[in-house]
A and B are shown apart, each in its own frame.
Chain A
Amino acid sequence: MTDTGQRTDWASDAMQHRIARRYAADARFKWYGLGAIFFAMAVLVLLLGTIIVTGIPGFTQTQVRLQVSLDPEQFGGSLKGKTPDEVDTAIAAADFAGMIRTGLQSLFPDVTQRRDVRDLTDLVSSGARQKLAQIVREDPGIVGSTVEVWLPTSDDVHTIVNGSMDRDVVESDRRLNDKQIGWLEAMEKADAIRGVLSSDFFTGGDSREPEMAGVWGSVVGSFWTLLVTLAVAFPLGVLAAVYLEEFAPKSRWSDLIEVNINNLAAVPSIVFGLLGLAVYLNVMHLPRSAPIVGGLTLALMTMPVIIIAARAALKAVPPSIRAGATGLGASKVQVTFHHVLPLAMPGILTGVIIGMAHALGETAPLLMIGMVAFIVDIPGGITDAATVLPVQIYLWADSPERAFVEKTSAAIMVLLTFLILMNAVAVLLRKRFERKW
Chain B
Amino acid sequence: MSPLSLALILIVLSTAIAFIASRTKSLRLVDGHVSELHSLPGHYGLYALVWCLLPALLVLAIWIAVGPAIVDGIMAGRLQEADPTIGADRLGLLLNDIRNYVSGNLVSEDIDPALAANGEAYRSLLLTGLWGTFVASVAVAIGGGFFAFGRIKPDMRARNKVERVVWLTMVACSLVAVLVTVGIVLSLVFEAGRFFGKVSVFEFLFGLEWSPQMAMRADQVASEGSFGAVPLFAGTLLITFIAMLVAVPVGLFSAVYMTQYADQRVRSLIKPMLEILAGVPTVVYGFFAALVVAPWIRDTGGLLGLEVASESALAAGLVMGVMIIPFMSSLSDDALTAVPQSMRDGSYALGATRAESIRSVLIPAALPGIVGAFLLSVSRAIGETMIVVMAAGLAANLTANPLEAVTTVTVQIATLLVGDQEFDSAKTLAAFALGLVLFIVTLSLNVIALRVVRKYREQYD
Point out residues on A near B: beta carbons under 8 Å.
22-23, 25-26, 28-30, 32-37, 39-41, 43-44, 46-47, 50-51, 54, 235-237, 239-240, 242-244, 247-248, 256-257, 259-264, 266-275, 277-279, 282, 284-285, 300, 303-304, 307, 331-333, 337, 357, 360-364, 367-368, 370, 372, 390-391, 393-394, 397-398, 405, 408-409, 412, 415-416, 419, 423
- Nearest B-chain residue to A332, judged by Cβ: B163
Which of B18-26, B84-92, B432-440 sits within the interface? B432-440
A359–chain B nearest beta-carbon distance, Å: 10
Inter-subunit contact A415/B254 (CB<8 Å): no
Q: Does any Cβ of A come within 8 Å of B379's Cβ?
A: yes
Question: Chain B 365-389 against A: per-residue CB contact (8 Å), 1 yes, 0 no?
Answer: 0000000000010011011111001
Decide: A274 and B432 in contact? CB cutoff 8 A: yes
Query: Which residues from chain A contact B288 at a C-beta distance below 8 Å?
Result: 47, 50-51
0/1 interface trace, chain B 411-451, chain A, CB 8 Å (1 if under) = 00110011110010000000110010011001100110010
Q: A33-B256, A54-B291, A271-B435 are in contact. Are A416 and B170 (CB under 8 A)?
A: no
Given the known A-B contacts A263-B447, A274-B432, are A279 and B187 also in contact in the complex, defined by CB atoms under 8 Å? yes
> What per-residue 1/0 map shows which CB atoms of B227-267 lie under 8 Å from chain A?
00000000000000000000001111110111011000000
By the criterion CB–CB under 8 Å, are B177 and A260 in contact?
A: yes
Would you give the shortest CB distance from B256 to chain A, in whole angstroms?
5
CB-contact partner of B184 in A237, A256, A259, A275, under 8 A: A275
Q: Are A270 and B414 in contact (CB under 8 A)?
A: yes
A390 partner, pick from B283, B353, B356, B431, beta carbons under 8 A: B283
Question: B216 near A: Cβ within 8 Å?
Answer: no
Is B254's CB under 8 angstroms from A304's CB? no
Bound complex: CA A146 to CA B281 (Å): 49
The smallest C-beta distance from A326 to any residue of chain B, in angstroms, reads 14
CB-based contact A271/B383 at 8 Å: yes
Apart from A25-B355, A47-B288, list 16 A-B contacts with CB within 8 A: A33-B260, A36-B251, A36-B252, A36-B257, A40-B274, A50-B291, A240-B170, A267-B383, A267-B443, A270-B383, A271-B188, A284-B65, A333-B163, A361-B283, A367-B418, A397-B287
B325 at the interface (CB under 8 A from A): yes
How far is B288's CA from A405's CA once the two chains are assembled, in angstroms? 11
A26 pairs with B68, CB closer than 8 A: no
B→A interface (CB under 8 Å): 65, 68, 159, 163, 166-167, 169-171, 173-178, 180-181, 183-184, 187-188, 190-191, 249-254, 256-258, 260-261, 270, 273-274, 276-277, 279-288, 290-292, 322, 325-326, 329, 353-356, 358-359, 376, 379-380, 382-386, 389-390, 410, 413-414, 417-420, 423, 431-432, 435, 438-439, 442-443, 446-447, 450
Contact of A394 with B390 at beta-carbon distance under 8 Å, contacts A40-B325, A363-B283 already known? yes
Choice from B414, B420, B432, B442 contacting A364 with Cβ under 8 Å: B414
Cβ-defined contact, B322 with A40, below 8 A:
yes
Interfacial chain B residues near A242, Cβ < 8 Å: 170
Q: How far is the CB of A273 from chain B (nearest CB, A)?
A: 8
| A54 to B176 CA separation, bound complex (whole angstroms) | 44
B450: nearest chain-A partner, CB-CB:
A262
Set of chain B residues within 8 Å of A36, measured between Cβ atoms: 249-254, 257
* Distance, CA A46 to CA B284, complexed state (A): 13
Cβ-defined partner of B287 (8 Å) among A244, A331, A412: A412
Decide: B170 and A247 in contact? CB cutoff 8 A: yes
Tell me which of B258, B386, B431, B435 has the highest count of chain A C-beta atoms within 10 A of its own C-beta: B386
A–B pairs, 12, beta carbons within 8 Å: A26-B355, A33-B261, A37-B253, A43-B322, A267-B439, A268-B410, A270-B383, A282-B423, A367-B418, A393-B283, A397-B290, A409-B287
**CB proximity of A310 to chain B, nearest CB, Å:** 11
CA–CA, A99 and B248, complex, Å: 63
Contact for B354 among A26, A331, A362, CB less than 8 A: A26
CB-defined contacts of A397 to chain B, threshold 8 Å: 283, 286-287, 290-291, 390
In the assembly, what is the distance between CA of A36 and CA of B256, in Å? 10
Question: Which DSSP category, helix, strand, loop or mixed, fits chain A's interface?
Answer: helix
Give complex CA distance A423, B278 in Å.
Answer: 12
Which residue of A22, A33, A50, A257 is within 8 Å of B257 (Cβ)?
Answer: A33
The residue from A22, A333, A416 contacting B166, defined by CB atoms under 8 A apart: A333
Q: Are A363 and B287 in contact (CB under 8 A)?
A: no
A40 to B413, CA, bound (A): 30
Q: Which residues of A contact B384 (CB under 8 A)?
A: 268
Bound CA span A361–B359, Å: 38
- Contact check, B447 vs A256: say whether CB atoms are below 8 A apart: no
A29 touches B354 (CB 8 A): yes
A47 partner residues in chain B, CB cutoff 8 A: 280, 284-285, 288
CB distance from B41 to the nearest CB of A (A): 15
With a CB–CB cut-off of 8 A, which chain B residues contact A416? 280, 284
Q: Is the CB of B284 within 8 A of A263?
A: no
Q: How far is the CA of A47 from the CA of B450 in the complex (A)?
A: 32
CB-based contact B167/A247 at 8 Å = yes
| Smallest CB separation, B246 vs chain A (Å) | 9
Contact B385 A419 (CB under 8 A): no
Q: CA of A256 to CA of B417 in the docked complex: distance in angstroms?
A: 32
Q: Identify the closest chain B residue to A241 (Cβ).
A: B174
Q: Provided the pairs A304-B177, A364-B385 are in contact, do residues A22 and B286 lie with their beta carbons within 8 angstroms?
A: no
Bound: A394/B178 CA distance, A: 32
Which of B252, B355, B385 sits near A268, CB closer than 8 Å?
Answer: B385
Which 4 pairs of residues, A with B, have the shortest CB-CB distance? Answer: A268-B383, A33-B257, A361-B281, A278-B187
Cα of A362 to Cα of B286 in the assembled complex, Å? 12
Contact B174 A243 (CB under 8 A): yes
| Interface contact A22-B353, CB-CB below 8 Å | yes
Cβ of B435 and Cβ of A274 under 8 Å apart?
yes
**Distance of B426 from chain A, by nearest CB (Å):** 16
Q: Please, how many angstroms separate the alpha-carbon atoms of A285 and B380 in the complex?
A: 31
**Residue contact B257 to A30, C-beta cutoff 8 Å:** yes
Smallest beta-carbon distance A420→chain B, Å? 8
Check A243–B171 contact: CB distance below 8 A: yes
Chain A residues with CB under 8 Å of B286's CB are 394, 397
Can you name the residue of chain B whose Cβ is closest to the Cβ of A237? B173
B184 and A26 within 8 A (CB): no
Among the listed A236, A267, A357, A408, which residue makes an inter-chain contact with B173, where contact means beta carbons less than 8 Å apart?
A236
Q: Are A393 and B431 in contact (CB under 8 A)?
A: no
Chain A: minimal CB distance from B45 (Å): 15
Contact across chains for A264 and B253 when beta carbons are under 8 A apart: no
Do A278 and B283 have beta carbons less than 8 Å apart? no
- Report chain B residues within 8 Å CB of A390: 281, 283
Check if A307 sits within 8 Å of B177, measured CB to CB: yes
For A331, the chain B residues whose CB sits under 8 A away are 159, 163
Task: Please measure, in the bound complex, the distance between the C-alpha atom of A282 and the C-alpha atom of B190, giving whole angstroms.
Answer: 13
Do residues B417 and A368 form an inter-chain contact, with CB atoms below 8 A? yes
A33-B257, A242-B170 known; A40 vs B180 contact (CB < 8 Å): no
Residues of A within 8 A of B180 (CB): 264, 275, 300, 303
Q: Which B residues are in CB contact (< 8 Å) with A30?
A: 257, 261, 354-355
When C-beta atoms are compared, the residue in chain A nearest to B178 turns out to be A260
B68 touches A37 (CB 8 A): no
Q: A274 is contacted by which of B181, B188, B279, B379 (Cβ under 8 Å)?
A: B188
Return chain B residues, CB-CB under 8 Å to A28: 355
Is there an interface contact between A44 and B177, defined as CB atoms closer than 8 Å?
A: no
Task: Provide the residues of chain A in CB contact with B386, threshold 8 Å.
Answer: 363-364, 394
CB pair B181 A248 closer than 8 Å: no
Contact B379 A266 (CB under 8 A): yes
Bound-state Cα–Cα, A267 to B420, Å: 26
Q: Does the CB pair B410–A368 fall under 8 Å?
A: no
Chain A nearest Cβ from B299, distance in angstroms: 16
Q: How far is the CA of A30 from the CA of B256 in the complex (A)?
A: 9
- In Å, the complex CA distance between A333 and B256 comes to 45
Given A274-B413, A393-B287; A240-B173 close (CB under 8 Å): yes
Nearest chain B CB to A58 CB, angstrom units: 13
List the A side residues contacting B173 at CB < 8 Å.
Answer: 235-237, 239-240, 243
In the bound complex, how far is the Cα of B341 from the Cα of A182, in angstroms?
Answer: 74
Judge whether B177 and A412 touch: CB under 8 Å.
Answer: no
The one of A243, A337, A415 in contact with B284, judged by C-beta atoms closer than 8 angstroms, is A415
